[in-house]
Structure 1
Amino acid sequence: MSLSLSELKLFREVVSLPTAPFCESKVQAFVREWAAGNGIGFEEDKVGNILLTYKTPGRAPQHPWVLQAHMDHPGFEWNSRRGRTVQAWFRGSVGEHYFPGARMQFFPLTGNPVSGTVEVVRRDRESGFLKCRIKLDEAVPLEPGTPGMWELPPWKKRGNRLELRVVDDLCGVVSILMTLKRLKDSGARRKVYGLLTRAEEVGFVGAISAAKNRLVDPAFPILGIEASKAQPNAKIGQGAIVRVGDASTVFDPELTSSLRKTARALHRADPSLKFVESLMPGGSCESTGLALLGYRTCAVCLPLGSYHNMGASKIEAEKIDLRDFESMVALLTEVSQTKPGDSNTAELKKRMLENHRKRAELLYGWK
């Protein structure tokens, strides 16, 4: 199912927002306004994680799906300035050799971005974050905490190929907004939540706080949405990925089986919707972190090029295929209206035991 013009507009708006770990305020403000304008429930915990709710008339299902993504991306935070020289933090996993000479921008609350060049970078032993010395093009006073990102076009579309300043994970955020809007417009019958977390790029800090704050009922199943480095068996353009696991663990088999069943049914009904089933070892995601805290989790993701803006030799835009994104949104929309864990495992068990009943007696003729 192709995106509508209004969905493409929303897509471009969200991925163009500046963000960084602990500096997600512009994303939070956008989502708050979007929810109010579209009749979607909005709640924040005390640290700024967001819970969106598509509410249905009548009785809600016992265990509604929670669609989950994070609002940050590896980036800078303004710390101090002397003349044109700025000291800033960089948080998130990017190789240090990419920094010297790289162009970046700070994004104040109002006004135009402020550009500069990274001169020196070193790792702070205590925090583990990078300290950067940046030379601004012109001396501009900004508030401490102002977010910064690489100086890249936020959106470039060439056919179905998208080159974005941020895919990971603002594409996950906007996929949830699109899904909730589609459910509301269609009058879908099952309640669905959207959990948007902060500071994933520095160790699931927001997601862990959301769990500790009980922003989401621990009984609710969580479907994590990410972008993960493309693999030989999961290439850009081959389809959205039903993510069996990540670099750290595998996910709930019943929930994953539900995703597989729904994805296969969608592809049979519309072959333009494509899916790959794969363990994606390029990194660990919040589905692992939340599973370790007692939640049942599963995951989908987009195959990603130039992960965390790391090109072959320099900083560049992240890359995805629009058709993969469209397939992912179709899957989220469809699976959110199914009963969690409603897979084919019960039928498989029935067939297995029936086969055993018919053939087990042959075991006794082996002598």
Structure 2
Amino acid sequence: MTKGRLKIHKRLYVIFYFLIIVTSIIVAEDVFLEISNFDIGKRAFHIDLGRNYAIVADYDGKVSFIDVFTLEKTEFTDSVIPMGGVYDGEFFYVIDNYKREVLKIKGNTIVRKLLLEAKPVNIKLINNDLYVVTTDPYKFYLIDRNMFIKKSVELPVHSPLIRNVGTQVFIPLFENYKNNVRLTELLFMIPNQNSYIINYNNITYPIDLVGYQGIIYFVTYFEGNLYKNEFKNQPKVAQFGKYTTEIELYRNYIVGSSLMGGVYYYDLTSNQTTVVLDEIPISDIAVSPDNEYLYAVSHIENKLYVIKDKEVYQELDTKKYPIDVEAPDNNIVLVLCTDSEELMVIRRFE
């Protein structure tokens, strides 16, 4: 084939591909397309959301602040092992695990530091306060935005996660068993009430929870068991495969995913469980704020699955090893791909 014909074929291919996209946008109800991606460093494993910002900490020393609407990116590099950050509309707050610090940042400049006696591993901004959990030793800190410690509590076991149901905050006491020995009688700390959810059913490794009509449902990591928290009773109501990292409310379902395969739906009306993508390992899920779509990423298939009801609406190829998916807006989906060191920004076109 001559060079001239080859150029013509390439141009025709580009035009044809463009027409397919335009036709899809016109004909389909919605279509999802990647619109941008960002370099986020070698060791980034989760996305923190703060208002209009996605905050991604590369544990090798860089924090990326990305405006999900304007797609502007700034980087903060004056930390050693940053492990997360939040944004209150004016200031960023970043935790440095190595220096045991909480940093208050504006304009990429540190305006205040708070030194802790433990290594921070997670931070959330809830109820206008900073919630921080640590290791060495295991502790929970409640910190106001002026960097004053309002409360600190020792935790009995390794508890690296912070969850919330609305304004109510829960700390899963994750490593509550070791070598089949129970290390604590507690499942979740409720710091705002100075109380706990007690373990009545020999439940191991609680990792996430949701609230529905005033009732708490929670899931365990290794076994993937979904429990309903009742007064001195915690019946198992569903099985979400094995190695379940997260649950979400989606319409009238509790949904969860399994690293061994599948997205699971527990119907809160019928109490029945169904599964989709049961042969595909799923690393994370997210729900669009309008409850229209459920997003699932597979770290094995390098795919983002856009799910509507219980059907796969669209599949998108991702970069290598997607580990986290977030939906900060009805029309924006973020996918963090650890091996390719990129954050993908995907847009829903209506």
**TM-score bracket for the superposition, by shorter chain length:** under 0.3
Higher strand share: 2
Normalised to the residue count of structure 2, the TM-score between the two structures is 0.24
